[in-house]
């Protein structure tokens, strides 16, 4: 008999088949798409064994926003320690892991490449499958960690610094895009509004905090009317804010301005998501992305979902903003779908490959 040693590809294919049957695979996950260097070990796509997030916020605050070159350099400096800590805290060794999941996009290309190359080297050295993960799928799957009972189909509002989308998560690991922003993302709108109000970086969370003390009905900011039933637009609202501040000055009832602006953004996000849930008879709504940390969005979505008899899932704040545990959860979904990458894997900075039409 011709006894040829199995190739790396064949060994990995066999391993994936075993894991698909076993359902408790432990993945190392790496996330470096923006300004957080993060690594985690996640078991069965649902249980966090460890999660380490090294934020670069203080560095970028000096410049009033994320500087891509600096972000890449910081990731390079930090990634080895972050991965080592995540492994140590999980109690796992490379040999007892089932694979390495890594964010491939969307995100900053230089930043993504740091994580991808580290993941490739790690996977190669340990003989593990490399699993490419879309960052937005990561945000959606953060809900699986927070809510072990959650399973598709469900609707999901994704609101982050670069995205505002309503999607349908379907059985079998696919996603349908139902609506999205026509201009700014919700997080971008909050960050820009914060700049107009001279609120320091990171604008979104600080504007949210200030808004808690203001009157949301003080200023009647406009709500966009759009042809797409589930689409958003925040650019008109931003212009209205700029005009208001030019006329009245940014110190005029700053908390009231922040509260009124926040209410306008949150109304759009909640109303469109609830409309989609009602019209599509969805039993559950999930919320994902950095903006899901917004206090008013959390309160309003819970309230309106309850009024409409729809279950509502919003992860704890630490799982809403960028982290690697969510990449481990999404990596598990991809692994169960049999999706692994070769060592030629590249970054996809503006990846739109998540959705079926």
Minimum separation from the CB atom of position 71 to ligand KG4 (A): 12
Omega before 186 cis (within 30°)? no
Q: Can you tell me the distance from the alpha carbon of 114 to that of 123, in angstroms, rounded to the nearest whole number?
A: 14
Out of 87, 322, 332, 334, the residue judged to bind Zn ion by CB under 5 A: 322
Our finding on whether 233 is near Zn ion (CB under 5 A) is no
Q: Which does 203 bind (CB under 5 to 8 A by kind): ligand KG4, Zn ion, none?
A: ligand KG4
Q: Which of 259, 268, 253 is nearest to 295 (CA)?
A: 259
Which residue, 134 or 260, has its beta carbon nearer to Zn ion? 134
Q: Can you tell me the distance from the alpha carbon of 342 to that of 187, in angstroms, rounded to the nearest whole number?
A: 34
Out of 90, 160, 181, 273, the residue judged to bind Zn ion by CB under 5 A: 160
Q: Which of 76, 21, 31 is nearest to 53 (CA)?
A: 31
Query: Is 311 strand, coil or helix?
Result: strand
Q: Can you tell me the distance from the alpha carbon of 200 to that of 36, in angstroms, rounded to the nearest whole number?
A: 19
Our finding on whether 37 is near Zn ion (CB under 5 A) is no
Reading the block at residue 232, the tokens are 């958003």
Q: Can you tell me the distance from the alpha carbon of 106 to that of 146, in angstroms, rounded to the nearest whole number?
A: 23
Reading the block at residue 138, the tokens are 């990561």
Q: Which does 300 bind (CB under 5 to 8 A by kind): ligand KG4, Zn ion, none?
A: none
Q: Which does 187 bind (CB under 5 to 8 A by kind): ligand KG4, Zn ion, none?
A: ligand KG4
Q: Which does 202 bind (CB under 5 to 8 A by kind): ligand KG4, Zn ion, none?
A: ligand KG4
Our finding on whether 165 is near Zn ion (CB under 5 A) is no
For residues 302 and 73, is the Cβ–Cβ distance under 8 A? Answer: no
Our finding on whether 36 is near Zn ion (CB under 5 A) is no
Query: Is 52 strand, coil or helix?
Result: strand
Minimum separation from the CB atom of position 307 to Zn ion (A): 29
| Total residues interacting with Zn ion, rule: CB under 5 A | 2
Which residue, 39 or 123, has its beta carbon nearer to ligand KG4? 39
Minimum separation from the CB atom of position 322 to Zn ion (A): 4
Q: Which does 205 bind (CB under 5 to 8 A by kind): Zn ion, ligand KG4, none?
A: ligand KG4
CA torsion through residues 89, 95, 97, 103, sign: positive
Residues 301-320 that bind Zn ion (CB under 5 A): none
- Contact stretch for Zn ion (CB under 5 A) within 88-96, 265-273, 309-317, 321-329: 321-329
Task: Determine the Cα angle at 267 with ends 263 and 272, to 5°.
Answer: 160
Residue located via tokens 């306008």: 264
Q: Which residues bind ligand KG4 (CB under 6 A)?
A: 34, 160-162, 187-188, 190-191, 202-205, 208, 289-291, 293-294, 321-322
Q: Which does 103 bind (CB under 5 to 8 A by kind): Zn ion, ligand KG4, none?
A: none
Q: Which residues bind Zn ion (CB under 5 A)?
A: 160, 322
């Amino acid at each position: 008999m011709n006894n040829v040693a199995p190739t790396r590809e064949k060994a990995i294919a066999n391993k994936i088949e075993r894991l698909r049957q076993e359902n408790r695979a432990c993945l190392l996950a790496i996330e470096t798409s923006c300004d957080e260097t993060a690594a985690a070990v996640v078991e069965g796509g649902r249980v966090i064994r460890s999660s380490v997030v090294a934020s670069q916020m203080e560095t970028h605050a000096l410049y009033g926003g994320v500087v891509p070159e600096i972000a890449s350099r910081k990731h390079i400096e930090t990634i080895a320690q972050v991965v080592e800590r995540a492994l140590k805290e999980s109690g796992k060794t490379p040999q007892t892991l089932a694979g390495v999941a890594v964010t491939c996009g969307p995100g900053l290309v230089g930043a993504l490449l740091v994580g991808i190359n580290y993941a490739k080297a790690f996977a190669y050295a340990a003989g593990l499958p490399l699993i490419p993960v879309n960052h937005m799928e990561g945000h959606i799957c953060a809900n699986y960690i927070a809510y072990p009972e959650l399973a598709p189909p469900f609707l999901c509002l994704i609101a982050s610094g670069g995205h505002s989308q309503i999607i349908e998560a379907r059985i079998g690991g696919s996603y349908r895009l139902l609506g999205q922003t026509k201009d700014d993302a919700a997080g971008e709108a909050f960050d820009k509004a914060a700049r107009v109000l001279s609120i320091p970086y990171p604008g979104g969370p600080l504007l949210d905090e200030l808004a808690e003390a203001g009157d949301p009905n003080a200023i009647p900011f406009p709500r966009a009317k759009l042809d797409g039933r589930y689409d958003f637009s925040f650019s008109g609202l931003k212009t209205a804010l700029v005009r208001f501040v030019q006329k009245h000055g940014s110190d005029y009832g700053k908390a009231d301005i922040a509260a009124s602006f926040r209410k306008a953004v949150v109304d759009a996000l909640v109303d469109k998501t609830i409309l989609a849930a009602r019209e599509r008879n969805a039993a559950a709504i999930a919320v994902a992305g950095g903006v899901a940390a917004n206090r008013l969005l959390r309160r309003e979505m819970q309230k309106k979902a309850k009024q409409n008899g729809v279950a509502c899932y919003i992860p704890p704040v630490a799982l809403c903003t960028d982290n690697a545990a969510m990449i481990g959860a999404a990596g598990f979904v991809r692994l169960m779908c049999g999706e692994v990458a070769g060592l030629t894997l590249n970054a996809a900075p503006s990846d739109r490959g998540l959705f079926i039409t």
